[in-house]
Amino acid sequence: MIFLIRKTNSTMKISQFKNPTERRLFLEKELQIRLEAINRAHVDNEKDIHCENFIGETTLPLGVVGPLRIQNLELRMKDYYVPLATTEGALVASVNRGCKALTLSGGVKVNTHKIGVTRGPVFYTGSLQKNQEFYEWLNKNKRQISQAAESTSSHLKFKKYDIKSVADYVFVRFYFDTENAMGMNMATIATQAIVDLIEKETGIECMSVAGNFDTDKKPAWLNFLNNRGFKTWAEGIIPEKTVQGILKTTAEKIYEVWLAKCMIGSAMSGSLGFNAHFANVVAALFAATGQDLAHVVEGSLGVTRAKIIKKGNLYISVYMPSLMVGTIGGGTKLKTKQEALSIIGAKNSEEFAEVLTGTVLAGEISLLASLAQGTLAKVHKKLGR
């Protein structure tokens, strides 16, 4: 086996250049390449961009699905168009078919509950006795903890904390309401203020402000069971006529595929996601609207439920236990992301989470129907190559 290594002769560091044009020109000269498309894609003001060694922007093909009719538990009903950014052929067409089937069936009913963003530091106490003392101090000083956290932002509210310990380590998971921002940075800054208070008052050392007890951007049963960001539900009932006419199959066949794939298959593989492809839709909508892409990990968790009801109708539902989304801050400030968000028209992060969950349900219905039909390979051969 032969390995080819591209060597560079420059002693310059990318960070030494003052602007993206200089960095881009340096790379073009150093690597003997052209970056014209990356240059043309740049449309944002640098003050809105949080990216070091910035050289330009990259793009993804952007499609749209809908209308998708969604009704929440407060009986607000609205039809939505939803932007999806993806390089995967057939994905947009498939989700769009699911939207059509659901809307013709009266729409999707959704429910959302805001859990809050979490940050989970780990502390070293030195002994089990100190663990207990630390636990008691936390319980006696909740007001001080809340004040320290909320002093960092007028848009952040301290909610609660959970505690776990092993040997002489104590893990504390703090929960925060960050309004319409996804809020991970706000939570980190607030947690650091809490950590500073704890170390000052107790002398107990924080080993890491992020101790994997968040759990942030990693698959974890903790997020599945205790939730993070939003936990959401969506359900729909598709009449037999629509199942046959739009989805080209039967409720019985979809149910059998759901049972074999989402339930038994997921159990056999030890999966944390008992679903068909949550991550596909979550990633496409995240990329379109400027969400933090790494939180697709949490968005891939969840359960799809299907059953046959009277007269051959299909009931289908999804549960998403850990959705980390926002409508302000971070990547949502970029121009193309703002325009994509305007297509949805969500007034707040809760409404955005409702739309995302309804769209995930549309994706689940269509993929399960395609698998029941036996057309998955055929469709990808036509649209995905």
Q: Are residues 139 and 110 in the same domain?
A: no
In which band, very low, low, confident or very high, does the pLDDT at 374 lie, cut at 50, 70 and 90? confident
Q: For residue 39, is it within any domain?
A: yes
The verdict on whether 380 is a catalytic residue reads: yes
Question: Crossing angle for the helix pair 91-104 and 278-289, nearest 10 degrees?
Answer: 100
**Active-site residue, selected from the candidate residues 88, 133, 150, 240:** 88
- Chain position carrying tokens 């407060």: 74
Give the integer Cα–Cα distance in Å for 35 and 196. Answer: 45
pLDDT tens track for 41-77? 888 888 888 899 998 999 999 999 999 999 998 888 9
- Supply the pTM of this predicted model: 0.93
* Region 2-30 average pLDDT: 79
Q: What are phi and psi of 58, to 5 degrees?
A: -120, 160
Give the integer Cα–Cα distance in Å for 268 and 171. Answer: 31
* Region 188-217 average pLDDT: 97
Q: For residue 57, is it within any domain?
A: no
Q: 378 or 258: which carries more pLDDT confidence?
A: 258
Give the integer Cα–Cα distance in Å for 116 and 274. Answer: 23
**Active-site residue, selected from the candidate residues 57, 214, 292, 364:** 292
Specify the pLDDT at position 6.
59
In which band, very low, low, confident or very high, does the pLDDT at 5 lie, cut at 50, 70 and 90? low
Q: Are residues 283 and 199 in the same domain?
A: no
Q: Are residues 23 and 67 in the same domain?
A: no
- Chain position carrying tokens 């790494």: 294
Q: Number of folded domains in the chain? A: 3
User: What CATH code is carried by the domain that includes residue 247?
Assistant: 3.90.770.10
Q: Residue 4 above 70 pLDDT?
A: no
Q: Which of 297, 288, 302, 309 is nearest to 357 (CA)?
A: 302
Specify the pLDDT at position 308.
97
In which band, very low, low, confident or very high, does the pLDDT at 264 lie, cut at 50, 70 and 90? very high
Q: Are residues 204 and 66 in the same domain?
A: no
The verdict on whether 88 is a catalytic residue reads: yes
Those residues with Cβ within 8 angstroms of residue 323's Cβ, 6 or more apart along the chain or in another chain: 229, 230, 231, 232, 298, 299, 353, 356, 357
In which band, very low, low, confident or very high, does the pLDDT at 2 lie, cut at 50, 70 and 90? low
* Region 338-359 average pLDDT: 97
Give the integer Cα–Cα distance in Å for 340 and 354. Answer: 16
**Active-site residue, selected from the candidate residues 28, 150, 256, 380:** 380
pLDDT tens track for 214-260? 999 999 999 999 999 999 999 999 999 999 999 999 999 999 999 99
Q: Are residues 247 and 369 in the same domain?
A: yes
CA 80 to chain centre: 19
Give the integer Cα–Cα distance in Å for 17 and 85. Answer: 31
Q: For residue 214, is it within any domain?
A: no
User: What Cα–Cα distance (Å) separates residue 55 from each residue in 23, 49, 288?
Assistant: 6, 11, 20
pLDDT tens track for 101-154? 999 999 999 999 999 999 999 999 999 999 999 999 999 999 999 999 999 999
- Greatest Cα-to-Cα distance within the chain, rounded to the nearest angstrom: 73
Q: Are residues 97 and 234 in the same domain?
A: yes
Q: For residue 3, is it within any domain?
A: no
Q: For residue 55, is it within any domain?
A: no
Specify the pLDDT at position 43.
84
Mean pLDDT of the chain: 94
Specify the pLDDT at position 378.
81
Domain that holds residue 39: 14-48
Q: Residue 265 above 90 pLDDT?
A: yes
Q: For residue 213, is it within any domain?
A: no
User: What CATH code is carried by the domain that includes residue 140?
Assistant: 3.30.70.420
Structure token digits, residue 190: 């607030």
Q: What are phi and psi of 322, to 5 degrees?
A: -155, 80
Q: Are residues 103 and 246 in the same domain?
A: yes
Specify the pLDDT at position 291.
98
Q: Are residues 32 and 163 in the same domain?
A: no
Q: Are residues 198 and 274 in the same domain?
A: no
Q: For residue 81, is it within any domain?
A: yes
Give the integer Cα–Cα distance in Å for 296 and 288. Answer: 13
In which band, very low, low, confident or very high, does the pLDDT at 33 lie, cut at 50, 70 and 90? very high
Contact of 118 with 175, CB cutoff 8 Å: yes
Query: How is residue 179 annotated by DSSP?
Result: T
Q: Are residues 108 and 125 in the same domain?
A: no
pLDDT tens track for 201-210? 999 999 999 9
- Beta-sheet pairing, 62-72 with 77-85: antiparallel
Give the integer Cα–Cα distance in Å for 96 and 62. Answer: 13
The alpha-carbon radius of gyration of the chain (Å, integer) is: 24
Give the integer Cα–Cα distance in Å for 172 and 182. Answer: 20
In which band, very low, low, confident or very high, does the pLDDT at 385 lie, cut at 50, 70 and 90? low
The verdict on whether 79 is a catalytic residue reads: no
